[in-house]
Each structure stands twice: as structure tokens, then as C-alpha cells.
Chain A
Amino acid sequence: KQEVTQIPAALSVPEGENLVLNCSFTDSAIYNLQWFRQDPGKGLTSLLLIQSSQREQTSGRLNASLDKSSGRSTLYIAASQPGDSATYLCAVNPLGAGGTSYGKLTFGQGTILTVHP
């Protein structure tokens, strides 16, 4: 059974710092991996999606890397801002029969990020 772990569980940093969030998964047979952001009382917003054949994806100040063989992904946030405060969730999309997938995601427990001015 796929298990996804996120470290740290919570992180508090001053504005302007660069930071790294970690995600590890036990089964390397994945189709892709997705990073989400969740604000209190809200649903999930997709930040970055990395296909299993890719090593990294970038969007603005966000960069996500994937090392499938070691079962790890990192989310790098540059020059953090108070508006980045949220819970960040990592989710893996398992590889199904025939090398396809339909998107049944397995999530980590999330990292609660607080960026203070």
C-alpha cells in the first residue's frame, strides 16, 4: 500500500526566506506527483504536477523536483511571503495496469507553513 509522508509537519519562517518542503513515498510505481495548497476552510489548489518521466517543474517562485527511484519530492519556495502561509499537500498518482492511471491520489498529511512579516 502506498504511503506518503511529509516533513516537516509545520514550519514557521520570516518573510523573505527560501524554504524546502519534503515529501516521500514508499512505492515508486507512480504516474505523476502533484503539489497542492490548501487555505483554511477551502479546497485544494493545484500548484505543480510532475510526470514520472520529469525531474522538476517550475512556476514562478515555486520549484518542485522528483526523484522517483528514491521515492522523494521537494517543493522549493523562493523569497517566501506572508501570502504563502497555508497547508501544502503532496499527492501521488499510482501507476495502474497497462501503464495508465485514472488519478486516484494518495496524499501526505501536509506541511503547515506560516510566513511572518
Chain B
Amino acid sequence: GAGVSQSPRYKVAKRGQDVALRCDPISGHVSLFWYQQALGQGPEFLTYFQNEAQLDKSGLPSDRFFAERPEGSVSTLKIQRTQQEDSAVYLCASSLFLGLKQPQHFGDGTRLSIL
């Protein structure tokens, strides 16, 4: 596809359930980022991949959050034992290489609601 694709667009889960969010970056993009955006706020960094290597996961809020990109393309963000405070829009972004002089291209996000 031409842009970053995220699925599902909307996800409703009960507190305590596990969820998995998918990101298909632009083909050939080396760098992949996950951000969390609370209502009325700017996005906050969660984690970064360079190809299949997760080089920075300093923004993950707790050990309930886990991300992977096993083949260096599609990435999955998994949240275990969801809590209400996990409700947010989760954005995925990719860039061609290392972010050097390259803008990040964002998907439309997954809006997660925890009941």
C-alpha cells in the first residue's frame, strides 16, 4: 500500500483482556515507531524498531506492553491484562532510514477503549 496501515481501526475490550494491534509500515521503511495518544494530548513515544531489532522500548508504560517486528516489516503491539488507563489512540509511524532528514509517516491509528 501507499501508506502506513493499522488494524483494527477501533477496538473495544473489557478490562483484563489481552489485545493485539497491528501495523503495516510503508514497504522498505527501516524505522518503525509506536506512539500512544491520550485524548486532547500529543502522541507519546512507546517503542522503536530498526528492521527487526527493538532498539528502544523506554516509553512502554509497564511490562504489560509488548511489541515485536519479527521479520522487519509488520509490527504488533500487544497489551496484556488491559486496564482503563490503556484507553487511547495507538499510532504507528515509519520512516525510510533512521529518521535522518526523513519525515515520519503515520497511520490513522487504532482507537482502544477499555470498559
Binding site for B on A (CB under 8 A): 4, 31-32, 34, 36, 41-46, 49, 51, 89, 91, 93, 100-110
Binding site for A on B (CB under 8 A): 4, 6, 31, 33, 35, 40-45, 48, 50, 55-56, 91, 93, 95, 98-109, 111
Using known A-B contacts A51-B101, A109-B42, determine if residue A103 contacts B106 with beta carbons closer than 8 Å: no
Bound complex: CA of A109 vs CA of B38, how far in Å? 10
Cβ-closest chain B residue relative to A45: B106
Bound complex: CA of A49 vs CA of B101, how far in Å? 8
Which of the residues A32, A42, A102 comes within 8 Å of B50, measured between beta carbons?
A102
Cβ-closest chain B residue relative to A110: B42
Which of the residues B100, B101, B102, B106 comes within 8 Å of A43, measured between beta carbons?
B106
Specify the main secondary structure of chain A where it touches its partner.
strand
Bound complex: CA of A36 vs CA of B37, how far in Å? 14
* CB pairs A–B below 8 angstroms (27 shown): A31-B99, A34-B103, A36-B106, A41-B111, A42-B108, A42-B109, A43-B91, A43-B107, A43-B108, A43-B109, A46-B105, A49-B101, A89-B43, A91-B42, A93-B99, A100-B98, A102-B99, A103-B31, A103-B33, A104-B48, A105-B33, A105-B104, A106-B45, A107-B44, A109-B40, A109-B41, A109-B42
